[in-house]
Amino acid sequence: MKPFKNMGNFIVLLVFISLLLTALIPQNIFGKTTQGVMGLVTFLFVLKSVMGIALYYCFWQGKNFNEDIWLSKYYN
């Protein structure tokens, strides 16, 4: 699975990275609240941050997620 080959693979990669980063954040930092809900909220904020940074970087670098270009015999 090449993460930059199409948008689906890229999103799966970002979700996986967000899950790893969420697991690194200590859950007791938010106080004595429901851990499941706070974990979900933390995951959503991390996912939003990772997607924003990744998409900014990809547009800045001019990455292309079009499968037709990847399969073209004229590409590289």
Q: What is the 3-state secondary structure (H, E, C) of 3-71?
A: CCCCHHHHHHHHHHHHHHHHHHCCHHHHCCCCHHHHHHHHHHHHHHHHHHHHHHHHHHHCCCCCHHHHC
Write down the pLDDT at residue 65: 64
Q: Which residue has the tokens 């800045």?
A: 60
Q: Are the beta carbons of 3 and 9 closer than 8 angstroms?
A: yes
Q: 32 versus 75: which is more confidently predicted? A: 32
Write down the pLDDT at residue 16: 96
Q: For 19-61, write each residue's pLDDT tens digit.
A: 999 999 887 777 776 667 888 889 999 999 999 998 888 777 7
Q: Are the beta carbons of 47 and 18 closer than 8 angstroms?
A: yes
Write down the pLDDT at residue 56: 86
Q: What does pTM read for this prediction?
A: 0.72
